[in-house]
Amino acid sequence: MKRSQMALVLAASTALGACSFTPPEQAAGDFDYAQQQLKDPIEAAPGLEFDAQSQRYQVPEGDFPGALGAQLNIRAPIVVRAVAAGSRVEETEDQVRVYFDELENMDSLAPFVWENVRAGVSQQGIDIVSEQTEQELVTGWVSETALVGEDELEVVNQRRFKVSMDTASHGRTTAVKVEVLESQSQGPGSALYDAEMGQRNAATALLNALIVEVAVAQIDEDILTTRDTSLNVQAGFNQEGFPALVIDGSFATVWALMGQVLPELGFEIDDLNQSTGQYFTTYSEEASGFDWAFWRDRQQGKLPLVDGEYMIRVTGDRTTTTVTLHYNDKPLSADDLTRIFGPFAAEIRKQSGL
């Protein structure tokens, strides 16, 4: 009897679980509101009248096209991520497009961007079937499989993309846009698939991959230009006015360099976040691998810091970067920075010259 009851409970739980499944593109809950009809307006009692009412929140009457209730796709669209240096997205942009601005020491913007756009398309394993250099290219068919609806029905999407580039007459700004040229869907889930959002998301995903390719090329170029020269380091202030190391190098270069410098100075890297420019570290004087022979004696060369947790923030652009040390959620003072400047500057110059 107990086994039968347990089996019944498990069967009921499975059935309820199946019934309560909600596809990720559909809002949870019921949709009774979608069936509501307009009510007759309330009438004032004889001899009375309503106060004047604001029309601010009045819902206009009329038939409005578009999905409603369970048919409304609530999944957020993919957004264009301008992660390359000098890239940006206009606030009022309604196309899948990114702008690149010329950076200091860049010889020619358009050829550089176009070369890496082509490389990005190839990196995704997509064929290029036609091309007008630095203007546009058309891809071959790209397949994608998705599951839609409560029953997770399969839909196979095939698309061809057009990537176009429009460079301003002065040559210092260029825009790259991706759009779906042709598309077709097949499979049992085709009728449920949101083709409009799917096409925009696919175009955005491809554009983001191209932006990443440009960003990687920028980093590679930074490494090549700084490989044979050590970086200049000075004591100064960051943009917020806090004492900081000021380095004549790009953010990408200095960020990677600090991953080598910090362990040599006795900082164990516990975690990091490049998007916010943060290294989370634990400092220990005994763990330092710094070349003390640089100094006349160990006492002169050691870092006058308390052992403990430090957050190192790296901020900058393609030409200048600052490094700020934080202890107990507060930036080090100008006096503290002066005392550690020598070992830090020496190690940064040493590592950048390798």
Q: Which of helix, strand or coil describes residue 174? A: strand
- Phi, psi angle pair for 284, to nearest 5°: -140, 125
One domain, residues 199 and 249: no
Instruction: Count the alpha carbons within 13 Å of 256 in the hemisphere toward its beta carbon.
Output: 12
Which CATH number characterizes residue 96's domain?
3.30.530.50
Token match 């999407």: residue?
A: 157
- Phi, psi angle pair for 41, to nearest 5°: -65, 150
One domain, residues 136 and 87: yes
134-151: b or e for each residue (b if 16 or more CB lie within 10 Å)?
A: beebbbeebeeebebeee
Residue 2 lies in a domain: no
- Phi, psi angle pair for 328, to nearest 5°: 55, 40
Q: Whole-angstrom Cα distance, residue 343 to residue 294?
A: 9
One domain, residues 210 and 127: yes
One domain, residues 184 and 245: no
Strands (DSSP E) found in 140-287 = 142-148, 153-167, 173-186, 233-237, 243-247, 267-273, 278-283
pLDDT attached to residue 78: 83
Q: Which of helix, strand or coil describes residue 158? A: strand
One domain, residues 221 and 256: no
Cα-based distances in Å from 142 to 135, 162, 199, 206: 21, 12, 12, 11
The set of residues, in sequence order, having a beta carbon less than 8 Å from that of 157 and lying 6+ positions away, is 143, 144, 145, 146, 183, 184, 185, 193, 198, 202
Cα-based distances in Å from 347 to 250, 264, 266, 294, 313: 17, 8, 12, 10, 17
Token match 């989370």: residue?
A: 280
Domain count, the chain: 2
Distance of CA 48 to the CA centre of its chain: 60
Token match 């993309």: residue?
A: 161
Residue 348 lies in a domain: yes
One domain, residues 273 and 215: no
pLDDT digits (tens, 9 = 90+) for 242-300: 999 999 888 888 898 899 899 989 899 999 888 889 999 999 877 655 544 344 333 44
One domain, residues 246 and 126: no
224-243: b or e for each residue (b if 16 or more CB lie within 10 Å)?
A: eebeeeebebebeebeeebb
Instruction: Count the alpha carbons within 13 Å of 240 in the hemisphere toward its beta carbon.
Output: 11
pLDDT attached to residue 91: 85
Q: Whole-angstrom Cα distance, residue 101 to residue 119?
A: 19
In 52-128, which ranges are continuous DSSP H helix?
109-123
One domain, residues 178 and 239: no
Decide if 314 contacts 255 (C-beta within 8 A).
Answer: yes
Q: Whole-angstrom Cα distance, residue 346 to residue 348?
A: 6
One domain, residues 149 and 273: no
pLDDT attached to residue 2: 46
Token match 């601010």: residue?
A: 56
Tokens of 343: 């070992």
**Residues lower than pLDDT 70 in the chain:** 1-28, 62, 64-75, 105, 222-230, 287-302, 354
pLDDT digits (tens, 9 = 90+) for 87-115: 899 988 889 999 999 887 677 899 999 99
One domain, residues 87 and 195: yes
Q: Whole-angstrom Cα distance, residue 222 to residue 219?
A: 5
pLDDT attached to residue 181: 94
Question: Where in the sequence is the domain holding 83, given as residue range(s)?
Answer: 77-225
Q: Whole-angstrom Cα distance, residue 322 to residue 320?
A: 7
Of 205, 225, 245, which residue is a domain's last? 225
pLDDT attached to residue 4: 44
pLDDT attached to residue 222: 64
Give which of 169, 178, 89, 84 is closest to 137, Cα–Cα: 178
Which CATH number characterizes residue 332's domain?
3.30.310.170
pLDDT attached to residue 28: 66
